[in-house]
Amino acid sequence: MPVITLVSQVKTLNPDPTRTTPALTTVFTPEASCLSRWIWMEHSDQIIVTSGYYKDTKLASGIDLDYWKTCYASATQPTYSPGMCFEGQALNVILQVPIQVPGMSETQTQWQALCCPSGMIPSNYRQCEKAISTPFTVLAPVVLEETTESGWKSSTVWDSTSTWLYTTTNSVGQPLVVTTETSIALHTAISGATLFADPVTVYWQSTDLSLFPSKYASSLASAIGISVGTQTLTLGPKTLSSTTSSSTLNQQGVLSTGAKAGIGVGTVIGAALLVGVAFMFFLRLRRRKRQEPAVAELSGHSSGYKRFFGGKLRAEMEGKALPVEIDSKSVCVVPGPPAELEGSSHLSR
């Protein structure tokens, strides 16, 4: 994941009418030969291999100034605004800067990033860097010796074409100048070296995301922590809002098919749980209203089930619910008038 550095100091953007930075909003694929344009530079302390606008006087004198020109989309310096990384490059360090555009009261946000070849990271020298330990094919330096009017001259070249002129005579004895061209390119494999390449510098704002391809815009928005739809960008005490859109991206607030399916499954499960709880409550209420069965106890010879009842193992027979009556004795009916107890009668007049 790229490292995002927030610069709190507001930068005033003053466009220079004499300087124009080209835009790059489509995927640029360098030609295949650019992958093999690695120059081996001999140094006393380490082996340096470079590809790009590496500033070195020795290199500048031994290679054509336009050697890497076809490896870039446009511009003398590989800088684009709004811009995106080349094919085969990865987004690295991202710088987030609040800018003040003349004529606008609101502070805006601008991002700057370095794009390096895949597997390389920016170094302290603002160069993409990578240490290699396995054999790597490079262009080795070739030392040319040639004579001049003042004597011998030595020069170091890499991928170059040398032009040789010599004078001879034609068939009738007249002098003839012959020109020959020789390609000089010595490829060799080295290991234990450090690779350097110039990064591509890109600038953009949130409103530029809609200009990029949808897949790249989504990846870029994820890297800087904003959505491709309506974004809210927080910079210190201020909160800024900006809107970008893309016809190929999902609009904010529209549920995907997976989300809809998840909601449907959750609804079914919730309904099943509610039905289960209601059924359990119904059974419990019904048991309370039902009369408990009578328990018939014997000496243990019952053919019924044995179970724990009241903490003891008892033998039970299946019983039926019977009405409970108060204890009574037999009554014998004697013929004749009813027997009465003796007593005295007190009448009041």
Is-contact 95 113, C-beta < 8 A?
Answer: yes
Q: Is the pLDDT of residue 233 over 50?
A: no
Statement: residue 211 has pLDDT above 90: yes
**pLDDT band (50, 70, 90) for residue 171:** confident
pLDDT band at 86 (very low <50, low <70, confident <90, very high): very high
The answer, yes or no, to whether residue 190 has pLDDT greater than 50, is: yes
Cis peptide bond upstream of 82, omega within 30: yes
User: Does residue 213 register a pLDDT over 80?
Assistant: yes
Number of neighbours of residue 102 by Cβ within 10 angstroms: 8
Q: Among 14-18, 35-39, 132-136, 342-346, where is mean pLDDT lowest? A: 342-346
Residues 6+ apart with CB under 8 A from 60: none
The answer to whether 132 and 33 are in contact (CB under 8 A) is no
pLDDT tens-digit series, residues 107-130: 778 888 999 998 898 887 678 899
Highest mean pLDDT among 16-25, 43-52, 70-79, 292-301: 70-79
Per-residue confidence (pLDDT) for residue 84, from 0 to 100: 93
In angstroms, the CA 151 to CA 306 distance is 123
Mean pLDDT score, 212-218 = 91
Specify the higher pLDDT residue, 317 or 100.
100
pLDDT of residue 240: 30
Give the pLDDT of residue 275.
59
Contact 32, 178 (CB under 8 A): no
pLDDT at 272 (0 to 100): 63
- CA nearest neighbour of 3 among 111, 162, 101: 111
pLDDT at 44 over 80: no
The overall average pLDDT reported for the chain is: 67
Q: Calculate mean pLDDT across residues 275-301.
A: 56
The structural domains of the chain, with segments of one domain joined by +, span 4-30+72-134+191-243
Q: In the structure, what pLDDT confidence band is assigned to residue 207 with cuts at 50, 70 and 90?
A: confident
What's the confidence (pLDDT) of residue 144?
Answer: 74
Task: pLDDT band for 25, please (50, 70, 90 cuts).
Answer: very high
Q: How many CB atoms lie within 10 A of CB 213?
A: 14
Average pLDDT, integer, range 186-207: 87
Residue 21: count of CB within 10 angstroms of its CB: 16
